[in-house]
A and B are shown apart, each in its own frame.
Chain A
Amino acid sequence: MGKTNNKDTEKDTNRYIVLLDKGNATSLKKIEKEFQISITSSEDLSKDNRSFNILNTDNSIFYKNLDVVVMEDIELEHLNHSLNDSKSPVIYFEKERVFTPVNEFDLINELKSQSVSFQKKILELEDLLKIKSIPQAPKIEMEWGLRAIGLDKTQYTGKGIDICILDTGFNITHPDFTNRTIEGKSFIPNEDWDKDFHGHGTHCTGTAAGNKRIDTGKRYGVAPESNIKIAKVLSDTGKGGTSSIIDAIDWAISKKFRIVSLSLGSPVGMNELPSLIFEKVGEKALENNCLIIAAAGNDSNRPSLPKPVSCPANTKSIIAVAAIDEQHRIARFSNAGINASTGGEINLCAPGVDIFSSYSMNYNKPSLYALLNGTSMATPHVSGLAALYMEANPGMNAREIWELLEKKAKPVANALYRDIGKGLIQAI
Chain B
Amino acid sequence: MIIYLGTLKNGIKYNKALISYLKENDIVVLKHLKKLQVLIIQTEKEISAADLQCFETLEIEKNDFSI
Interface, chain A (partner B; CB < 8 A): 167-168, 198, 200, 233-234, 238-243, 245-247, 249-250, 253-254, 263-267, 275-277, 279-281, 284, 288, 311, 374, 376
Contact = CB atoms under 8 A, between A and B. Distances in A.
Contact of B67 (A247, A264, A276, A279): A264
24 contacts: A167-B67, A234-B66, A234-B67, A239-B64, A239-B65, A240-B63, A240-B66, A241-B63, A242-B63, A246-B36, A246-B38, A250-B38, A254-B34, A254-B35, A263-B67, A264-B67, A275-B59, A277-B5, A277-B38, A280-B36, A281-B38, A284-B37, A288-B35, A374-B67
B66 A280 contact: no
B62 to A, nearest CB: 5
B33 to A, nearest CB: 4
Nearest to A233: B65
Nearest to A290: B35
If over half of B's interface residues share one DSSP class (helix, strand or loop), that class is named, otherwise mixed; here it is strand
B30 to A, nearest CB: 8
Contact of A284 (B3, B36, B59): B36
B65 A242 contact: yes
B65 A264 contact: yes
Contacts of B34: 250, 254
Contacts, number: 89
The range of chain B's interface size is 20 to 34
B61 interface: yes
B62 A241 contact: yes
Nearest to B40: A243
Interface string B51-67: 00000110101111111
A277 B67 contact: no
Interface in B17-67: 30-31, 33-38, 40, 56-57, 59, 61-67
